[in-house]
Structure 1
Amino acid sequence: MPLDHQTKILMDRTDSILYYAASGLPQDQGAGWIGGNAPGFFDDQEDLIHEGGQRYIFYLSLVHPFKPGSMISIFIPEDYEEYLENNIYPNCSIKVMEHPISTESVKDTFTNPGLIKHTISDGEVSHEEQSLDQSFLIKVGGNPRLIQNEDYYFTKLREESFSFLFQVDEEGYPETLLQHDYSYPFGFGSLYIFAKIGTSEIQHPVAGFWQFS
């Protein structure tokens, strides 16, 4: 992506990139996937993902919009109460991993039984004001669309110079994404990812917080 577009999205925040979940779209035509198996990069890396007695399941992988050779993958605790109680940085239990581009694994080591795999569409640049008024699965850059606009969500993130990178919004789930009798992982809410954002590089993506209505 040209640097001037990146500046509008992450610095000026006048534009954003929107992604949608699609069924039937070949994976090689999209920007990642939600549900299904984790990337093959994590094969045989259970020790990296699981922590002590806490087991994690795969949520989604997105090709990094500003680093074509990288992906960002998200894992959530198997135990809903664990991440319900630990939902704000630096105590947010959601794991965000940046890693080299990887195809989906054939192993179901981390697979979330509640999600039916969907491809994530290629991103579309949108003007910020328009993006805040429409449905999306993922919104990169611009400003976060918050469910609760409370300062305490941002306190530690600002202290450590983290800035908003993207959000995953469950309002943008297609009806075909959830298995029958399974609940929304974030309670029909939204997950907010932050990173250290400089003029030339983006580093250390982390789960900032998640909210639900």
Structure 2
Amino acid sequence: MKNGMNILVERTDCILYYAGPGQSNEHSTGWIGGNAPEFFDDREDLIHEGNQRYYFYLSLVHPFKSESMISIFIPEDYEEYLDNNIYPNCSIKVIEHPTSTESVRDMFTNPGLIKHAISDGEISNDEKSMDQSFLIKLGGKPRLIQNTDYYFTKLTEESFSFLFQIDEDGYPETLLQDDYSYPFSFGSLYIFAKVEMNEIQNPVAGFWQFS
């Protein structure tokens, strides 16, 4: 893992990502809003559960495996993921899958988000990052809104480590459609994974918080 020791083991550094308007290109590593990756075109059953339907949120190219992406889906029903916000009962879906272009189909598209590209990641000192604005912070230590142990209890028991967070403080002003609310109530979503020296496995939604 390039720079993985400093980012995910010693956690002295982190990678910061930002969002900007426009299409994904060679200088982007994913997108937020818009259509889900083409990979999910024939996999509605993998995402939707009975009457509970999901919106696509974002996709990020895996920072240590360029052939993979991590995509996130959130329930259409806000109360569903408000009531189920901590692992192992967090209803946010996190799925690692082969790298895929954006679909032309809009079956998962969130009407409240305008598609923005996610920039290439920039390595930053972890301590410095705590005072910066960002869309995504990968590695280092999580910047928490509520620093309460019970968020981590089950994750720690099952040997999950912090992988990245998505912080709504880093949304561009152009990301939200008029009259739509922040999906996480101007909060942060925290993604965890099994982090080994040479591999990252089983990314999951750890919890989300807002003030």
- 1:68-79 paired onto structure 2 within 5 Å: 68-79=66-77
What is the CA distance between 1:201 and its match in structure 2?
A: 0.6
Checking the alignment, whether the CA contact within 8 Å between 1:29 and 1:121 is kept in structure 2 is: yes
Q: Using the aligned pairs only, state the percent identity.
A: 78
Say yes or no: does 1:108 pair with 2:126: no
Counterpart of 1:148 in structure 2 is: 146
What is the CA distance between 1:207 and its match in structure 2?
A: 0.0
Query: Secondary structure of 1:31's match?
Result: strand
In 2, the alpha carbon distance for the partners of 1:200 and 1:172 equals 30
Counterpart of 1:41 in structure 2 is: 39
Once the two structures are superposed, residues 31-83 of structure 1 have per-residue CA deviations (whole angstroms, 9 ceiling, x without a partner) of 00000000000001110000111100000000000111100000000000000
Q: Which runs of 4+ in 1 moved over 4 A?
A: none
Counterpart of 1:186 in structure 2 is: 184
Q: Paired residue for 2:195, among 190, 194, 197?
A: 197
Counterpart of 2:21 in structure 1 is: 23
In 2, the alpha carbon distance for the partners of 1:86 and 1:145 equals 21
Say yes or no: does 1:166 pair with 2:144: no
What is the CA distance between 1:27 and its match in structure 2?
A: 3.0
Structure 1 residue runs of 5 or longer lacking an equivalent are none
Opposite residue 97 of structure 1, the aligned amino acid is: I
What is the CA distance between 1:28 and its match in structure 2?
A: 3.3
Q: Paired residue for 2:124, among 123, 126, 129?
A: 126
In 2, the alpha carbon distance for the partners of 1:134 and 1:101 equals 29
CA RMSD of aligned residues (A): 0.8
Say yes or no: does 1:210 pair with 2:205: no
Once the two structures are superposed, residues 105-160 of structure 1 have per-residue CA deviations (whole angstroms, 9 ceiling, x without a partner) of 00001000000000000000000111111000000000000000000000000000
Structure 2 residue runs of 5 or longer lacking an equivalent are none
Counterpart of 2:81 in structure 1 is: 83
Opposite residue 40 of structure 2, the aligned amino acid is: F
Once the two structures are superposed, residues 182-213 of structure 1 have per-residue CA deviations (whole angstroms, 9 ceiling, x without a partner) of 00000000000000000111000000000001
Q: TM-score, normalised by structure 2?
A: 0.98
In 2, the alpha carbon distance for the partners of 1:29 and 1:37 equals 19
